[in-house]
């Protein structure tokens, strides 16, 4: 197990209640960043969106014009990801 050194100086005890929300906020921002990166840069996510779009089109939830536009955008995104 890793030894963790805890700072218990008077200043750290005073600042701790203020730093706790900042640490939680940073954690939240990191989680959002990870989700956005997965959504933008993961080819599997783009393929999932393509499959979902196709299913919605076949079920009549999406008009052909919208389907074509979204299909084009998603396939272009997938091509960009495979080229990089």
pLDDT at 66 over 60: yes
Residues 73/40, Cβ–Cβ less than 8 Å: no
- CA 71 to chain CA centroid, Å, is 21
Percent of the chain at pLDDT > 70 equals 85
CA separation, residue 66 to residues 34, 45, 54 (Å): 29, 20, 11
pLDDT of residue 13: 65
| pTM beyond 0.85, yes or no | no
CA-only gyration radius of the chain, Å: 23
What residues does each domain of the chain span?
16-83
Binned at pLDDT 50, 70 and 90, residue 25 comes out as confident
């Amino acid at each position: 197990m890793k030894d963790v050194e805890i700072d218990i100086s008077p200043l750290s005890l005073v600042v701790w209640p203020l730093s706790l929300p900042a640490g939680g906020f940073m954690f939240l921002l990191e989680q959002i960043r990870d989700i956005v990166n997965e959504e933008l840069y993961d080819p599997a996510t783009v393929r999932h969106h393509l499959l979902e779009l196709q299913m919605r089109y076949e079920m009549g939830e999406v008009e052909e014009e919208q389907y074509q536009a979204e299909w084009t955008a998603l396939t272009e995104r997938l091509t960009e990801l495979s080229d990089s």
